[in-house]
Amino acid sequence: MNQVNQRQYKVGVLGATGTVGQRFISLLAEHPFFVIHALGASSRSAGKPYSKAVNWKQTRAIPAVVREMVVQECVPEHFKDCVVVFSGLDADVAGDIEHAFRVADLAVFSNAKNYRRDPHVPLIVPLVNTSHFSIIPQQQRLHAPPLRKGFIVTNANCSTTAVVVPLGALERAFGPIESCMITTMQAISGAGYPGVPSLDIVDNVVPYIPGEEEKIEWETLKILGGLAHADDDDSGSGLLAFDMHAAQPLRISASCTRVPVVEGHTECVSVRFARRPPPSPQQVREALQAYTSEAYSIGCPSAPRHTVFVHEEPDRPQPRLDRDYQAGAGVSVGRVRQCRVLDIKFVVLANNVAIGAATSSIINAEYAVLKGIVSATAA
Amino acid sequence: MNQVNQRQYKVGVLGATGTVGQRFISLLAEHPFFVIHALGASSRSAGKPYSKAVNWKQTRAIPAVVREMVVQECVPEHFKDCVVVFSGLDADVAGDIEHAFRVADLAVFSNAKNYRRDPHVPLIVPLVNTSHFSIIPQQQRLHAPPLRKGFIVTNANCSTTAVVVPLGALERAFGPIESCMITTMQAISGAGYPGVPSLDIVDNVVPYIPGEEEKIEWETLKILGGLAHADDDDSGSGLLAFDMHAAQPLRISASCTRVPVVEGHTECVSVRFARRPPPSPQQVREALQAYTSEAYSIGCPSAPRHTVFVHEEPDRPQPRLDRDYQAGAGVSVGRVRQCRVLDIKFVVLANNVAIGAATSSIINAEYAVLKGIVSATAA
Amino acid sequence: MNQVNQRQYKVGVLGATGTVGQRFISLLAEHPFFVIHALGASSRSAGKPYSKAVNWKQTRAIPAVVREMVVQECVPEHFKDCVVVFSGLDADVAGDIEHAFRVADLAVFSNAKNYRRDPHVPLIVPLVNTSHFSIIPQQQRLHAPPLRKGFIVTNANCSTTAVVVPLGALERAFGPIESCMITTMQAISGAGYPGVPSLDIVDNVVPYIPGEEEKIEWETLKILGGLAHADDDDSGSGLLAFDMHAAQPLRISASCTRVPVVEGHTECVSVRFARRPPPSPQQVREALQAYTSEAYSIGCPSAPRHTVFVHEEPDRPQPRLDRDYQAGAGVSVGRVRQCRVLDIKFVVLANNVAIGAATSSIINAEYAVLKGIVSATAA
Amino acid sequence: MNQVNQRQYKVGVLGATGTVGQRFISLLAEHPFFVIHALGASSRSAGKPYSKAVNWKQTRAIPAVVREMVVQECVPEHFKDCVVVFSGLDADVAGDIEHAFRVADLAVFSNAKNYRRDPHVPLIVPLVNTSHFSIIPQQQRLHAPPLRKGFIVTNANCSTTAVVVPLGALERAFGPIESCMITTMQAISGAGYPGVPSLDIVDNVVPYIPGEEEKIEWETLKILGGLAHADDDDSGSGLLAFDMHAAQPLRISASCTRVPVVEGHTECVSVRFARRPPPSPQQVREALQAYTSEAYSIGCPSAPRHTVFVHEEPDRPQPRLDRDYQAGAGVSVGRVRQCRVLDIKFVVLANNVAIGAATSSIINAEYAVLKGIVSATAA
């Protein structure tokens, strides 16, 4: 992967000892142009070498480059040389810390949920809606005082990411979707560590994940909806705003469950298109297979070649077999067939800890670098 | 449970060494009025005492009453004293054997799928459509030569049973359902033994079960549909026929998956009612909780007191915690709430090896005894 | 189970909302002569009806008798009418609370580890060493001020209980064991709730349980060792003392692992006898099968008829199939065969939440009632 | 890994569609000097392109190089250009087919058990006893007619491989081991596909694997034992013979269990050394960490740099976290500590489908190439 003569960019990781932070570090340690420069965690960990501060739970060993790196508290001054700051912080602290980093004119790419509903913060699944980066200048300008380089970009919840990729591909090919039913079977790693008690999930299904259904139903609208100048509103402000798919209302109904799977969210999805007659299963398969993300097109190194891999075998995708395809950066779809109630149904699988979390943030940052959205003060 | 002065009825079990057969035997060994009289299995097992013929996989020990009982081949002459014959046969042999038993004027209660689509054989989930027993006289009369006592009654596939119980209750309370989306998370025991290879299901979900979605979509229509004299057809035959819910077409779309759970099928269900406005979640909860099966009303000893148990906690039902409630004879519903695409959604759990299989056959037979449908030649 | 004209004894449960407490309540709700009279838990739960205070995780519903019972703080005055107090308290609070209850002249049967190493407190696995109850008068007499009715009896750690039952049976039949190697495969329920994080155990084995190996190695010596008057010591005190198997030193080496099993500890055990030649596998099988506990002999209702069930099939015992035999009150042994390093090896299975925890305490209390060790102030 | 100007060697894979065969293909597709030239399977698969013949169950996709390769029947003529033939055949056919290939002067590296006990066939765990290759010339010479290039080399059973690596390292450092107790917790993939039925292993442990304990107890003696000219026997034959560790008898006692883990065998091992006093735990740790295999020293590309990785954390190794370290080619040891019965105990983990199967065969073949044992007719 390493490219010759590539400029290098210093990056920081907030929440470096947590589950998402560990994944950020695993991925960034092998990145072609990001270089881990600073690690932030709670005051309990600050001051310790990373290998002493972390309860490492990844299947790959701690990367040599961070073993002895001293963990810092999550304050901007320790990260001021970072071109990009990734946040794997828990929601209970992410709000204040990410705000402080933005104010300090740092570019924050966050996996936390805190700013996803902010009207000036884009919620970007990099295989779908990188166009929403266009709101960044407005986010900086409206800040008081205005920001020169600082901003926050969030990525979506893991279960939203899985479904929004094929939905985005289908809307691009066939126009608006009108309604969508989703039942998820989510992996335990989605809840972090210690997360789900084993007594709750061995030989069991838990048909409820607090807040999850609301996240899918809301985030999908923001991601798939438009971002446009509100030219015609009374205020005449001309500000960019997320329309929540308002032009063609999209009704989404999600049912979320937890299953005894370590990694990989499986989701049964059924959709109804506005367009009549709707596309056939074969047309849907072809459109999904042909879909390419802009992130891949412009050369983001972590973007998957196959945004959506379409399986022909009737019993795929399966989390254990398919979650590591393309390092978990794409999604896998199978069983595309007609639905007797809506139009088309299928199964989608996404790696919740890869494209469903850290990988999305990293592709977003790669995109921002390649597009010049972050100030390319190279390391 | 044991009742004083109760008449006893001799019963036989076909496929006695298989997974369903073992469950029949476990249940019948403690039955208040059925007495195991004959066990049938393949010629490989015939002639051996049951404890030698079987690879017993139940959590309770082999009942003493059958340990030394000699297994017979599945031919009617060994079962001629049985008032009721239960069939846990595999589909590849059930067709011929059950036919032979019916011809020999034996009452067969079958868990096999072979006759479920037969226009003269009722497909009875005993908590829902015991009224379909009314076709038995016609089944006997139309047979050539006409049968005096023999007939076949089938019960439904395990995943159909789970959903059809709340659907039946809802239709009774609120009138016809118009459409229904179902996603199942089915236990490995549903596939029998050896069934699902462990390499396919540990840390995994398999989003496909051959033939399962078709069964749910078809069987539900037969069970919930009417059974009426075709008075107005051109033939003037006046025969009873299953209308497959034709009066109010019901569209059903099922997505079936296998999850690493030993016992208990969990299903996420969403429904749209014909009636506008539809009932509220609270009305649905009350209707489900209030629903009582005729089988329970007339005193079938294996019928559950609570046909549908409605959970208030947001994270229930769960297979490991709820599958053994009422010995697995009822179903559990939870998370009744509004659906943004259809009207109401909820989660239902049914024990696939109890009410989803042997227990259904047994309640059907209890009903037939109490209603005088089987000739009560007591043992 | 309920017996006519049986005297009833009021009992209390400390730690009533915890995992062990829930099991105590499930068992006591159906007990022939114990009647739940008081429930104790932390101040967070105190004052609430039990059904509101508890996060119930048992497969059977909350017993009706305790649903509305108000939970008390764990102070003796709320339990003063209890003939027996069961303690399912966590170790961090059990020490002080159980002490206070003993001082208040209450009979405490504890599943906690705090007093297991106390030289005046017996550590009783009721299928093995009920003879150790004989130290109770001394425990009361040596207390300052002397106790009239109060005392503490503990039962063993769950993994100790499994192995000590067959070891006790073998020593009774064949004399002292000289060395014993044990490898455990322990269920997740042994760690309570939330206990083991699912990310640590799904598709995994954890080859370490803090403190567990030391418990097995130490507790086994106390349980299997003698309790005798130290007549010949220099002090001439004549006090009863536990000899830790000193007459014939017993070397025990344990390796403890956690496996993805909900309930039931499986242990591979190998032993060397002092007696040469050692017994044959067949002699061992017969001795285990023939072993009867004194608790069963004198009529303790929860003591299992078969203390040790010996399996002949080569692939048993298995936790899923055998853990509920006799309501989990006995142990199952299989694969008795020669060991090339020591003498005999076998597999033992015990239900860690039944005989490995609450059931042991209850049988101990039944024994104390039947023997008149607790003052039988009937309820 | 790919090396410049490296000679390439054509290889064949027998049993190419099976579990072990799939692993051979995954590994060989990325090998620096082996090139897959021919694939053999049963007549049912022969004639089909590999991607149609196989039910691929690996987490990586079918390598492009074999997708369209036509599967052959397992007869030597289709493999005559192969310098090395790997056998992943099932035991029921491996005996005859491997014999035929050897007679046809092909070098067979077999994972099957059929020839492991043959007195002229070496049983080589490549991290331990590559010295046993010295019997190959005798195997060829004693064949009738003598072979020029053909021979059979086997590798060990997966559970043997795990334990024999640290035992070999310890004997090299501290001299003979006298006795060894082993309890295994083996992964389901060790049984192939379909292998273990899920109903037998979800939420369960099966304390028995047919033939497994005998394999460990016998194979370990052959591997760790000497291979020497029987100069002093009466026959004066001077033939090389395996002494089964006869110089210092080694008693091994194994207890084998199956646990719900996909990949990675965990084994609790305890050893007693002949040397008194025995080494300390710290000395054992250092000796294991320092151990280097000859295969790695001479440059076998698949041999692991760390033959034995020694963990310091008390709760490692764990199969899910450690099985993929060094692509599963080494073993992981942890919890080295004193044993109260023997001398030293520890936990060892080996990837049963990597070093426990295909990887061993491949390193053996690499060794044979580098040492000139196979005729280096380059591809």
Domain range for D78 is 9-157+358-370
Residues C153 and C20 in one domain: yes
Q: Chain-wide mean pLDDT for chain A?
A: 95
Rounded mean pLDDT, A76-84: 97
On chain A, the residues whose CB falls within 8 A of the CB of C260 are 198, 202
**Is the pLDDT confidence value at A2 over 80?**
no
Decide if A31 is inside a domain: yes
What's residue A4's pLDDT?
45
**DSSP label at A311?**
P
- Cβ pair D199:B57 closer than 8 A: yes
Decide if D317 is inside a domain: yes
Distance between CA D129 and CA D167 in Å, rounded? 12
Distance between CA A251 and CA A271 in Å, rounded? 10
**Is the pLDDT confidence value at A235 over 70?**
no
Looking at the 3D structure of chain D, how many domains does it have?
2
What's residue B195's pLDDT?
97
CB B153 within 8 A of CB B109: yes
Decide if B180 is inside a domain: yes
User: How far apart are the CA of C309 and the nearest CA of chain B, in angstroms?
Assistant: 12
Q: How far is CA D94 from CA D18, D99, D110, D124, in A?
A: 13, 8, 9, 18
What's residue B379's pLDDT?
41
Decide if B379 is inside a domain: no
Among the listed residues C149, C16, C168, the one whose alpha carbon sits nearest the alpha carbon of residue C83 = C149
Rounded mean pLDDT, C70-80: 97
Residues D179 and D45 in one domain: no
Residues C183 and C134 in one domain: no
Q: Chain-wide mean pLDDT for chain D?
A: 95
Distance between CA C58 and CA C45 in Å, rounded? 19
Residues A209 and A297 in one domain: yes
What's residue A271's pLDDT?
98
Decide if A376 is inside a domain: no
On chain D, the residues whose CB falls within 8 A of the CB of A262 are 320
Decide if A232 is inside a domain: yes
Q: What percent of chain A has pLDDT over 70?
A: 96
Residues C120 and C211 in one domain: no
Rounded mean pLDDT, C29-46: 97
A359–chain B Cβ distance below 8 A for any pair = no
Residue pLDDT, tens place only, D110-123: 999 999 999 999 99
Residues C193 and C271 in one domain: yes
- Cβ pair C197:A202 closer than 8 A: no
CB C281 within 8 A of CB C336: yes
On chain D, the residues whose CB falls within 8 A of the CB of C335 are 207-208, 255
Residues C175 and C323 in one domain: yes
Residues C163 and C131 in one domain: no
Write the CATH number for D147.
3.40.50.720
The answer to whether the Cα torsion of A320, A324, A328, A334 is positive or negative is: negative
Question: Which amino acids of D are annotated catalytic?
Answer: 158, 265
Q: Which residues pair with B123 in a beta bridge?
A: B154
- Chain D: partners with 3+ C-beta pairs within 8 Å: A, B, C
CB A45 within 8 A of CB A71: yes
**Is the pLDDT confidence value at C234 over 70?**
no
Q: What percent of chain C has pLDDT over 70?
A: 96
Q: Which of A31, A82, A120, A158 is catalytic?
A: A158
- Establish whether A265 is a catalytic residue: yes
On chain D, the residues whose CB falls within 8 A of the CB of A203 are 202-203
Reduce the DSSP state of residue A254 to 3 states and report it: strand
Task: Provide the total of helices (H) and of strands (E) in chain A, helices listed first.
Answer: 12, 14
User: How far apart are the CA of B360 and the nearest CA of chain A, in angstroms?
Assistant: 23
What's residue A238's pLDDT?
82
Which helix or strand (DSSP H or E) is residue B24 part of?
Answer: helix B19-28
What's residue A378's pLDDT?
44
Q: Return residues 292-321 of B near C (CB < 8 Å).
A: 320-321
**Is the pLDDT confidence value at A157 over 60?**
yes
- Picking from C57, C197, C203, the nearest residue to A195 by CB comes out as C197
Kindly list the strands in the beta sheet with B72-73, ordered across the sheet, starting from the edge strand earlier in the chain: B72-73, B34-41, B9-14, B84-87, B107-110, B151-154
Assign B372 a pLDDT band (cuts: 50, 70, 90).
Answer: very high
**Is the pLDDT confidence value at D42 over 70?**
yes
Residues A134 and A237 in one domain: no
Residues sharing a CB contact under 8 Å with residue A232, sequence separation 6 or more, in sequence order? none
What's residue B235's pLDDT?
58
Range with lowest mean pLDDT among A319-328, C292-301, D230-239, D361-370: D230-239
Residues C184 and C120 in one domain: no
Residue pLDDT, tens place only, B146-188: 999 999 999 999 999 999 999 999 999 999 999 999 999 999 9
Residues A35 and A57 in one domain: yes
What's residue B375's pLDDT?
72
Tell me which of D230 and C172 has the higher pLDDT: C172
Tell me which of A309 and D2 has the higher pLDDT: A309
**Is the pLDDT confidence value at D258 over 70?**
yes
On chain C, the residues whose CB falls within 8 A of the CB of D350 are none
What's residue B6's pLDDT?
72
What's residue D230's pLDDT?
73
User: How far apart are the CA of B202 and the nearest CA of chain D, in angstroms?
Assistant: 7
Helices (H), D291-326: 294-297, 319-322
Per-residue tokens: A254? 């999600």
**Is the pLDDT confidence value at D246 over 90?**
yes
Assign A375 a pLDDT band (cuts: 50, 70, 90).
Answer: confident
Rounded mean pLDDT, C150-164: 98
Rounded mean pLDDT, A8-23: 96
Distance between CA A72 and CA A69 in Å, rounded? 9
Q: What percent of chain D has pLDDT over 70?
A: 96
Write the CATH number for A229.
3.30.360.10
Assign D238 a pLDDT band (cuts: 50, 70, 90).
Answer: confident
Residue pLDDT, tens place only, B41-99: 999 999 999 999 999 999 999 999 999 999 999 999 999 999 999 999 999 999 999 99
What's residue C3's pLDDT?
46
- Cβ pair A199:C197 closer than 8 A: no
Q: How many CB atoms lie within 10 A of CB A91?
A: 9
C257–chain D Cβ distance below 8 A for any pair = yes
**Residue type at position D240:** L
Kindly list the strands in the beta sheet with C34-41, ordered across the sheet, starting from the edge strand earlier in the chain: C72-73, C34-41, C9-14, C84-87, C107-110, C151-154
What's residue D1's pLDDT?
40
Residue pLDDT, tens place only, D145-202: 999 999 999 999 999 999 999 999 999 999 999 999 999 999 999 999 999 999 999 9
E-strand stretches of C88-225? 107-110, 151-154, 177-186
Q: How far is CA B280 from CA A211, B224, B290, D21, in A?
A: 22, 22, 15, 58
What's residue B231's pLDDT?
65
**Is the pLDDT confidence value at C14 over 50?**
yes
Distance between CA D302 and CA A307 in Å, rounded? 33
Rounded mean pLDDT, C67-76: 98
Residue pLDDT, tens place only, D202-225: 999 999 999 999 999 999 999 999
**Is the pLDDT confidence value at B270 over 80?**
yes
Residues B196 and B308 in one domain: yes
Rounded mean pLDDT, C192-198: 96
Residues sharing a CB contact under 8 Å with residue C294, sequence separation 6 or more, in sequence order? C130, C131, C367
What's residue D376's pLDDT?
55
Assign B3 a pLDDT band (cuts: 50, 70, 90).
Answer: very low
Decide if B25 is inside a domain: yes
**Residue type at position B150:** G
- Picking from D200, D202, D318, the nearest residue to C205 by CB comes out as D318
**Is the pLDDT confidence value at B132 over 60?**
yes
**Is the pLDDT confidence value at D344 over 90?**
yes
Decide if A176 is inside a domain: yes
Distance between CA A87 and CA B56 in Å, rounded? 54
**Is the pLDDT confidence value at B232 over 80?**
no
C193–chain A Cβ distance below 8 A for any pair = yes
